[in-house]
């Protein structure tokens, strides 16, 4: 039991490829609350919302840089994020759980399971000096946190931002017309298995939007999206950040649309690469993007962050995870909250 408990005080590996991603501006009728965790290289203390706390109680453990990777203690950080950390000795697997999100990472394996969905990391968890080393960026973003690295101060900042509505009365008539004020809209979606398609069609009907389906020039087969096959087409594409599958058909004119409802299935925890192709093909500057995804378990936050990263000049709203059976009220509530 002592051995298992000691392993709960683990370390995280921070992938040092930090990319900027601007969140959409908050509405006037809301405020922002932030939870912030700050750690510094060679400093055994960390700051949690301005309060100082020892990172690895009684051990003096400090974050370090090793082979261009930052190593962080996980227990204090995980607890600050509201997560629990467990260890399965037989399989050498670390289990992190927060709410409905469960992450399973195994020592010396690039394969990670996010809510039972298989994904591939570019670094393997290892054990160093009795501590498990895990990728902080993947974990933090899966728990809907942002991670930033400050080279000058040798610090990392892990931030959780959530929107909280004020009690300020609002104009109900204006709210009811909010959708109309967003201008002309179009639903753009990719649906390989057909799950996302009815979801997209419902949104188009509810919002009175035009609709356009993204189709691959080379259609995906069932074998192409078999994640158990490391050499499947989707595995190769999702593991290649530069992959851009060709879209079939002629380009469409998006200049007439102010709002784009962008739909897709979750592949490997994020957007399919063909969505990257769409984003790279069109100028989406100044447009409002409303992401929605079909997924039985994986959250939408990582995919929304990916869209924000690639669309820095667009107003990318919070996403909606659902499926073909997502109700009209759920869709309307999502739109009204943006």
What pLDDT was estimated at residue 216? 95
Q: How far apart are CA 81 and CA 103, in angstroms?
A: 14
What pLDDT was estimated at residue 168? 37
The structure tokens listed for 173 are 């008539």
Q: Closest by alpha carbon to 39, among 67, 5, 80?
A: 80
Q: How far apart are CA 237 and CA 231, in angstroms?
A: 10
* Lowest mean per-residue pLDDT among 133-137, 274-278, 283-287: 133-137
| Cβ contact 244:217 at 8 Å | no
Give the residue, 14 or 67, on which the prediction is more confident: 67
* Lowest mean per-residue pLDDT among 27-41, 130-144, 176-190: 27-41
Cα–Cα–Cα angle for 174, 178, 179, rounded to 5 degrees: 150
| Cβ contact 14:149 at 8 Å | yes
The structure tokens listed for 242 are 């530069």
* pTM score of the predicted model: 0.50
> Is residue 238 classed as helix, strand or coil in its secondary structure?
helix
Contacts of 338 (CB under 8 A, 6+ apart): 27, 290, 317, 318
Q: Closest by alpha carbon to 196, among 103, 294, 320, 314?
A: 294
Mean pLDDT of 99-117: 83
| Cα radius of gyration (the chain) | 21
Q: How far apart are CA 146 and CA 275, in angstroms?
A: 22
* Lowest mean per-residue pLDDT among 91-100, 139-148, 224-233, 323-332: 323-332
Q: Closest by alpha carbon to 86, among 2, 14, 4, 3?
A: 4
What 8-state DSSP symbol labels residue 144? T
User: In this model, does residue 189 exceed pLDDT 90?
Assistant: yes
Give the residue, 322 or 8, on which the prediction is more confident: 322
Q: How far apart are CA 305 and CA 278, in angstroms?
A: 16
| Cβ contact 136:158 at 8 Å | yes
Give the residue, 122 or 210, on which the prediction is more confident: 210
The structure tokens listed for 127 are 């054990």
Mean pLDDT of 70-99: 80
| Strands lying side by side in the sheet with 117-120 | 84-88, 93-98, 101-106, 111-114, 117-120
Give the residue, 207 or 48, on which the prediction is more confident: 207
What mean pLDDT value characterizes the chain? 78
User: 2-46, pLDDT tens digit by residue?
Assistant: 343 333 333 333 333 333 333 344 444 433 334 788 888 888 888
What pLDDT was estimated at residue 290? 96
Backbone angles phi, psi at 300, to 5 degrees: -95, -10
Q: How far apart are CA 123 and CA 110, in angstroms?
A: 6
């Amino acid at each position: 039991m002592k051995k298992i408990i000691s392993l709960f005080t683990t370390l995280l590996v921070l992938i040092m490829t930090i990319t900027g991603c601007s969140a959409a501006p908050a509405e006037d009728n809301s405020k922002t609350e932030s939870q912030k965790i700050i750690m510094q290289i060679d400093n055994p203390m960390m700051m949690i919302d301005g309060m100082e706390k020892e990172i690895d109680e009684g051990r003096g453990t400090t974050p370090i840089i090793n082979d261009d990777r930052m190593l962080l203690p996980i227990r204090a950080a995980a607890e600050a994020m509201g997560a629990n950390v467990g260890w399965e000795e037989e399989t050498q697997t670390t289990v992190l759980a927060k709410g409905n999100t469960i992450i399973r990472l195994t020592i010396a394996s690039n394969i990670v399971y996010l809510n039972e969905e298989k994904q591939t990391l570019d670094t393997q968890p290892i054990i160093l000096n009795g501590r498990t080393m895990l990728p902080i960026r993947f974990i933090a973003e899966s728990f809907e946190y942002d991670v930033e690295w400050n080279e000058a101060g040798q610090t990392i900042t892990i931030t959780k931002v959530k929107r909280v509505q004020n009690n300020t009365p609002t104009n109900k008539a204006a709210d009811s017309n909010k959708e109309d004020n967003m201008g002309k809209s179009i639903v753009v979606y990719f649906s390989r298995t057909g799950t996302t398609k009815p979801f997209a069609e419902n949104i188009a009907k509810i919002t009175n939007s035009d609709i356009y389906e993204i189709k691959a020039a080379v259609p995906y087969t069932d074998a192409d999206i078999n994640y158990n096959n490391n050499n499947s087409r989707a595995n190769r594409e999702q593991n290649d950040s530069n992959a851009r599958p060709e879209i079939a058909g002629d380009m469409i004119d998006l200049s007439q649309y102010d709002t784009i409802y962008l739909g897709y299935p979750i592949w490997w925890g994020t957007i399919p690469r063909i969505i990257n192709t769409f984003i790279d093909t069109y100028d989406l500057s100044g447009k409002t993007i409303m992401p929605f995804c079909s997924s039985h378990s994986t959250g939408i936050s990582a995919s929304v962050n990916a869209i924000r990263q690639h669309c820095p000049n667009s107003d990318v709203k919070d996403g909606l995870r659902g499926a073909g059976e997502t109700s009209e009220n759920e869709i309307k509530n999502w739109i009204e909250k943006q």
